[in-house]
Each structure stands twice: as structure tokens, then as C-alpha cells.
Amino acid sequence: GAVVSQHPSWVICKSGTSVKIECRSLDFQATTMFWYRQFPKQSLMLMATSNEGSKATYEQGVEKDKFLINHASLTLSTLTVTSAHPEDSSFYICSASETGTYNEQFFGPGTRLTVL
């Protein structure tokens, strides 16, 4: 199956710093990628839909100035957590799928962010 990579797999940072997480589709082109946040023992919460070449669509309650999403190419989307605070500590997962299908989403391995 198709592979989606995420980098870094984990990161620890100080409060107030910004952290960038990359999501890449390695062997297919993804017009659309999704960014999720997951708290321990909870479900995935969709944060935003990342569209190549246009602005991301954020879910209600997600601060777009806090979570900057850039989808500059058909294989790369980035999520930047700006001025991170301890409450931003979470597991962030991206996924990608080929456009216009109900088919399988391919998930990245996730990034565990800890803000001290």
C-alpha cells in the first residue's frame, strides 16, 4: 500500500517556541491531506483539511493562526504549531488519500509533541 511519512516522530520543546511537522506521501500524489489531533485514549479529532495550492479548511474551534498549515506540493503538507504551550501537547497524525475516492486513507505514523 501507499506510504505516508511524518517527521519528526516525536518532539519536545519549550513553551513559546514553534514546531513544524511534515507529512509526505511517498509514492502517490495527494491533493488533499488531513491533520488530526489525538489525546490519550481518545479518538482522532480532525483539525483541518489541507488542500494543495490553496488555504486549509479548519474545523470549528481550531485556531488557524495557532495551527498553520501549508500544502505546497502534491506530496507535502506541513503543520506548524506556533507559540506552543503545554496544552498543545498531543499526538498529531496526518493522512492522505487519492482525490475523489472513498478508498483507504493512508496515515502517517504520527508525531508526539510535548511542550514543557
Partner 1 sequence: AQKITQTQPGMFVQEKEAVTLDCTYDTSDQSYGLFWYKQPSSGEMIFLIYQGSYDEQNATEGRYSLNFQKARKSANLVISASQLGDSAMYFCAMREGSTGSYIPTFGRGTSLIVHP
Binding site for partner 1 (CB under 8 A): 1, 32, 34, 41-44, 46, 49, 57, 91, 93, 95, 97, 100-110, 112
Q: Which is nearer to partner 1, 15 or 55 (CB)?
A: 55
- Taking the C-alpha atoms of residue 78 and residue 113, their distance in angstroms, rounded to an integer, is 14
If 0-12 CB within 10 Å is exposed, 13-18 middle and 19+ buried, where does residue 92 land? Answer: buried
Q: Are 31 and 101 in contact, with CB atoms under 8 Å apart?
A: no
Least separation in angstroms between residue 55's CB and partner 1 is 14
Least separation in angstroms between residue 105's CB and partner 1 is 6
Least separation in angstroms between residue 52's CB and partner 1 is 13
If 0-12 CB within 10 Å is exposed, 13-18 middle and 19+ buried, where does residue 56 land? Answer: buried
Radius of gyration for the chain, computed over Cα atoms and rounded to the nearest angstrom: 13
Least separation in angstroms between residue 108's CB and partner 1 is 8
Q: Which is nearer to partner 1, 87 or 103 (CB)?
A: 103
Q: Which is nearer to partner 1, 81 or 96 (CB)?
A: 96
